[in-house]
A and B are shown apart, each in its own frame.
Chain A
Amino acid sequence: MLLGDSDIQAIWLTVRLATIVTVVLLVVGTPIAWWLARSRSRWKGPIAATVALPLILPPSVLGFYMLLAMGENGPVGHLTRALGIEPLPFTFWGLVIASVFYSLPFMVQPLQNVFESIGNRPMEVAATLGASPLDAFFSIALPMSLPGYLTASILTFAHTVGEFGVVLMIGGNIPGVSRVASVQIYDHVEALEYAEAHRMAAVMLIFSFLVLLALYAWRPNSLKMTRRD
């Protein structure tokens, strides 16, 4: 067997985490991106900057604040205790929430770009033809934005697969709960299991390369969409 059971478990956990985070962000990121693309509010700048923060913030900083927020004395911790839910740090769902914040710009920015490129006109035309805003979104804006959705989903998925710092801060290193592929490699190296580390690292390398290759082959400009002023 090329990969050990714990390796397979780590990969499976990573795929599950990345899938859930991508689906959650498709739902959460769409209204944020739509608002950022359309709004002329003075809050647009601060909100856009907040969404973009994970692009430049060290993951450990983000993880540290989230740990405080989710901890027993943090606001999220108070909430979970009031609801009778176990504290989020060092659980899979805690990891999901942290990853949603961490990968937010990778979903929002490509969507914002594609919404901006469509402009107001198609939505205006749809409205004068009798479509409500929600109807116009699903019948016009969404299908016209599919390329942006595909780019955003792939980038979000890949970015979540690649996270390490946030996972360590929020999830720790619990097999089957928070030990994702990147942490598993770290573990192997720590234990001086270089052959195992090599195999996992190779899997990650090939995966990342294939994702980027697919994106570039399909749309050479899509990666530029994540970094905009």
Chain B
Amino acid sequence: MKLSMRLHKSLGRFKMSIDVTVLGDRVGIFGMSGSGKSTLVSMLAGLLEPDSGEIILDGETLFCSVGKINLRPEQRRIAIVFQQHALFPHLSVRNNLLYGYKRCPAEYRSIDFDTLAEVMKLNSLLDRDIANLSGGEKQRVALGRAIMASPRLLLMDEPLSALDDSLRFQIIPYLKSVSEKFKIPYLFISHSLVEMRLMADTVLAFESGAIIGQTSSEQLARNRMSASPVGYINLLKLGAPTAMSGLFAYPWGASSLFLSTGSDRDESMAELSSKDIILFKQHPEATSARNLLHCSVRSLFNSGRKIGVELECAGNTLIAEVVQDAVDELGITEGSTIYAAVKASAFRMLPG
């Protein structure tokens, strides 16, 4: 997907001004609430008219103030998944799913209903009323409804914000399937860096109605490490644990980690903050931290007043944060080896 936007819009005292071209099928728009993300979504979908500018999607002009072009929302084939599910309450799950499908010209229909119902695990819900669905189910139906319309671009406007933490991470695999299974490019809008890293490759950082940078989601997380109260969040893919002297040993790449919480899943994700990793120049003879990893330093990067240290531990990557004095004292340079200590309780398992 190639999306070019040159847009100006004033809403009262709020002013938006954007000039950007973005390439990729998994694009994120990151910004705090009130930064104008939803206004942008409305303008892309044709629900709000920009004051001036143009929008070009894959070579087709959707809006051009000079050329007096403004395709109606129903002509754009851009679907939206909102924060609130916005399902049609008078229609069953099946008829919600088919609403856009029926209105999509036959030559554009690319999604098979049965495949969608299976991937989204909706088969048991098809004949239910909307009122009888849980929050997570509703959001899955809303996502399925948008996919069934075979859009050429799907806008996901904070689709996880209304869900609680445990549901949020259960829904993410379904959101990912939009690109992976159904080959629909998407714009994922969120104020959560972790969601951005799970959902987007390229990220447009948004602030006060302007795009302040275009980068990878990984780079964005590194840039924001010192500014974020939780630092950089390492996302670790772990295997099935085995209980061991009051803790749980999880396979982690070619290595293993001790965590204080168990899991009955074969695969799980854990978060580890860059602030919770302590670095030692030499092997500390004894430490209360249950994980002591022998690592090599792959690179160093600056993030505000902090230094990020990218470590390689048995084929895995970890980011730790330190201050400049620590870098000097420990003699951390690219290629040097170092020990990283992490408490078993520092990890946070992602639900789902």
Residue pair A144, B89 in contact (C-beta under 8 Å): yes
B13: Cβ under 8 A from any A Cβ? no
B80: Cβ under 8 A from any A Cβ? yes
Residues of chain B from 1 to 56 with CB closer than 8 A to chain A in the complex: 45-47
Residue pair B78, A128 in contact (C-beta under 8 Å): yes
Residue of B nearest to A144 (CB): B90
Q: How large is the interface on A (under 10, 10 to 19, 20 to 34, 35 or more residues)?
A: 10 to 19
B117: Cβ under 8 A from any A Cβ? no
B73 neighbours in A (Cβ, 8 Å) = 124, 127-128
Residue pair A131, B80 in contact (C-beta under 8 Å): no
Residue pair B103, A122 in contact (C-beta under 8 Å): no
B175: Cβ under 8 A from any A Cβ? no
Alpha-carbon gap, A127 to B90, bound state (A) = 17
Alpha-carbon gap, A92 to B103, bound state (A) = 45
B113 neighbours in A (Cβ, 8 Å) = none
Residue pair A135, B103 in contact (C-beta under 8 Å): yes
Alpha-carbon gap, A143 to B99, bound state (A) = 14
- Report if A130-B77 is in contact (Cβ < 8 Å); known contacts: A124-B47, A135-B103: yes
B103 neighbours in A (Cβ, 8 Å) = 129-131, 135
A129 neighbours in B (Cβ, 8 Å) = 74, 79, 99-100, 103, 145-146, 149
Partner of B74, one of A131, A143, A144: A131
Residues of chain B from 57 to 100 with CB closer than 8 A to chain A in the complex: 72-74, 76-80, 82, 84, 86, 88-90, 99-100
Residue pair A130, B149 in contact (C-beta under 8 Å): yes
Residue of B nearest to A124 (CB): B47
Residues of chain A from 143 to 182 with CB closer than 8 A to chain B in the complex: 143-144
- Report if A127-B72 is in contact (Cβ < 8 Å); known contacts: A122-B88, A135-B103, A143-B90: yes
B104: Cβ under 8 A from any A Cβ? yes
Q: Shortest Cβ distance from B41 into chain A, in angstroms?
A: 10
Q: Shortest Cβ distance from A159 into chain B, in angstroms?
A: 28
Residue pair A127, B88 in contact (C-beta under 8 Å): no
Residues of chain B from 92 to 122 with CB closer than 8 A to chain A in the complex: 99-100, 103-104
A140: Cβ under 8 A from any B Cβ? yes
Q: Which of B45, B74, B78, B100 is the most central at the interface, judged by chain A CB atoms within 10 Å of its CB? A: B74
Partner of A132, one of B45, B74, B80, B149: B74
Residue pair A121, B82 in contact (C-beta under 8 Å): yes
Alpha-carbon gap, A130 to B77, bound state (A) = 7
A189: Cβ under 8 A from any B Cβ? no
Q: Shortest Cβ distance from A52 into chain B, in angstroms?
A: 29
Sample of 13 more A-B contacts, CB < 8 Å, known A121-B84, A128-B73, A129-B103: A122-B88, A124-B80, A125-B88, A126-B99, A127-B74, A128-B46, A128-B76, A128-B80, A129-B99, A130-B77, A130-B100, A130-B103, A131-B74
Q: Can you show 15 pairs from A to B with CB atoms below 8 A apart?
A: A121-B84, A121-B86, A122-B88, A124-B45, A125-B82, A127-B47, A127-B72, A127-B73, A128-B46, A128-B76, A128-B78, A128-B100, A131-B74, A135-B103, A144-B88
Residue numbers of A with Cβ under 8 A of B are 121-122, 124-132, 135, 139-140, 143-144
